[in-house]
Amino acid sequence: MDDKILKKEITVLSGKLSAIVVNSKESLQEATDNINQLKSVRKKVVEYWKDSKELARNAWISICDKEKEMLNPIDAKINAKDAEVKKYLIAERQRVQEEQRKADEARKLAEQKEREKLEKRAEKAEENGKIEKAEALREKVADVYIPPSIIQGEVGKTTHSDTGMVTGSDDIELTVLDPLAVVKAVAAGTIPITAIKIDQVALKKYAKAGKLKELPGCQIVLTVATSYRGRKAS
């Protein structure tokens, strides 16, 4: 069959179907007949292109297989080395964080020692009757401040090379261990509602099975599912 004949059939039947206004049993029957005729033509269209689609599909699969054969060893090498890169960057970040923590602790300890030293000098000045000097020293206690040392890593967020660059963005891995706890946190406002996905298919199945007309947070509206079947040729 020629595709031009199929296109003509589609045009004629589509025009007839569009002209029908379904508002009675007779018009419903007429619409049903036209829909079944169009569904029959649809089957012819699917059958018409079946062989061409199969040939194209087989060719596409063959090309994809050849492409994959070449890409797999490339991706394997890149992924293996990228895992090594990530491991190094994580270790470097952890090293910098630990050194920064130690530097901050040392700075706070040094500030505390300086405050204690000034306080002892102030107490000694008071013992010697030097009240003004003692007050001046105590004012310095409140002003004690040692600028923090910022620890720099061996590499920054972005590292340039001869052919380009690599950027290591901080990320996390998250695994949901207790779904109910997450839902409760959403209800409490601790976690945003956008963090969970409502499965409307599952909700519909639940409501339909229980013949429910109401469901918290949902709107249930009656709809009709249609099924068209043509008469079998006798």
Q: Name 192's Cβ contacts closer than 8 Å, sequence gap at least 6.
A: 186
pTM: predicted TM-score of the whole model, two decimal places: 0.65
- In the chain, % of residues over pLDDT 70: 99
pLDDT of 231 above 90: no
In angstroms, rounded to a whole number, what is the distance separating the alpha carbons of residues 125 and 196? 65
The CB-side HSE value for 79 (13 A sphere, CA atoms) comes to 6
Domain boundaries, the chain: 3-209
pLDDT of 153 above 80: yes
Q: What is the DSSP letter of 233?
A: P
The predicted structure's pLDDT at residue 78: 96
pLDDT tens for 107-144 read 999 999 999 999 999 999 988 988 898 889 888 988 99
| CA–CA–CA angle 37, 43, 45 (5° rounding) | 105
Q: Across residues 206-225, what is the average pLDDT? A: 93
pLDDT tens for 63-97 read 999 999 999 999 999 999 999 999 999 999 999 99
